[in-house]
Amino acid sequence: MIRNLCALLPGVVLLLTPLAARSAEPLHSPWDGLHIALTDAVYTCPAPPPFAKSLEAHSYYTDAHHSVIDPKLEAEEREATEAPTHLGQWATQAADKYLRTGSRAAAACVYTLLDAAAKAKAWTDAMPTSQGSYEQKWLLAGTSVAYLKVRNTGVGAPDQEKDIKKWFNSVANRVTDYVDSKKNIPTSDAWNNHRYWAGLAVCAAGIAMDDKGDYEWGISSYKVGADQIQPNGVLPREMDRAGRALHYHLYALAPLIMIAELAEANGQDLYSYNNGAIHRLVKLCVAGLADPSLFSKATGVQQDIAGGPYAGSDIGWAVPYVKRFPDAQLSQWISQAEYTGFWQWGGLPPGAAL
């Protein structure tokens, strides 16, 4: 039908061809344009952590707002999730070492760790608890971004590339299955920060696999988040976190910024989506970091963030943001931060000084 239409209307070809070309173009990451020469800089790669296909993890909050932490339960959760956390941390550390030094050994370490996980089909089962599913998406987000940082080095062997992408696909399917099973429940975790983290994970994995369906699923997750941002910048589901409301606004903002950066690398502007909703959230978070009492008054509870210098998990999102939208206060906090990376989004964010 299309071929016949084009024969009748040759000019239509001129309109369709650029669209087809864009559709056929591979997906890009923010690190694809970097030109880093490989070096012989030494890097000691840790042995892979012990792998399992499933994970028994549980929440460590004790109240209805999920704001009060039980130290004993938190310690148990950390022990239960130590292996996937280490995999994510070690892969992102190696990827960032490559970015900073060009170390061939560091880039090879990323491949070694991820290929070992892929061969073991690590954490690819449906998880028995929601907390296990959360760990699954954080693992996918961190490791897929680490992979994106080294994928153009030429260090990975063809079999490693194949294995890793197959593993990403398996984990991404679990992540989307979990969210999709909850999306018809308005009060579920398919509508709060967990959805945005799932979006980052699947979007990054989609770029790694050149899977446009997964990429678009991640973009749609950004839109779910941006659509919830109120005129005053508030995310209602995160404001309900009592003493952790400010923390969870920041924690929700981070994956949204990262998804926006992945979209920018593919010629898609999410920063202007919904009348620039993300900027309202940024403005609120900046105000809250400057004066946490704003959130204390809104929730009636003192916040658990009380002045800088801020950790990478709190302020790392600002690194790419200020490069596009300069802000003196954010730049000051970035300069005071000891580190602006966070393993759950793949280590150093796009635009970080190397």
Domains along the sequence of the chain with CATH:
39-345 (1.50.10.100)
Number of other residues whose CB lies within 10 A of the CB of residue 113: 25
* Alpha helices (runs of H) in 229-354, residue ranges in sequence order: 236-239, 245-264, 273-290, 293-299, 312-315, 318-324, 328-336
Tell me: the pLDDT tens digits for 107-123? 999 999 999 999 999 99
Tell me: the pLDDT tens digits for 144-188? 999 999 999 999 999 999 999 999 999 999 999 999 999 999 999
pTM: 0.93
Quote the pLDDT of residue 307. 78
- Transcribe 4-34 into DSSP letters: HHHHH-THHHHHHHHHHHHHHSPP--TTTT-
Q: Residue 2 in 3-state DSSP?
A: helix
Tokens 């491949």 appear where? 111
Tokens 């923390």 appear where? 247
Percent of the chain scoring above 90 in pLDDT: 91
Quote the pLDDT of residue 22. 52
Q: Residue 103 in 3-state DSSP?
A: strand
Contacts of residue 338, defined as CB under 8 A and 6 or more positions apart, other chains included, come to 309, 311, 312
Q: Report whether 65 contacts 303 (CB < 8 A).
A: no
Tokens 């950390």 appear where? 78
Whether residue 48 is preceded by a cis peptide bond, meaning omega within 30 degrees of 0, is no
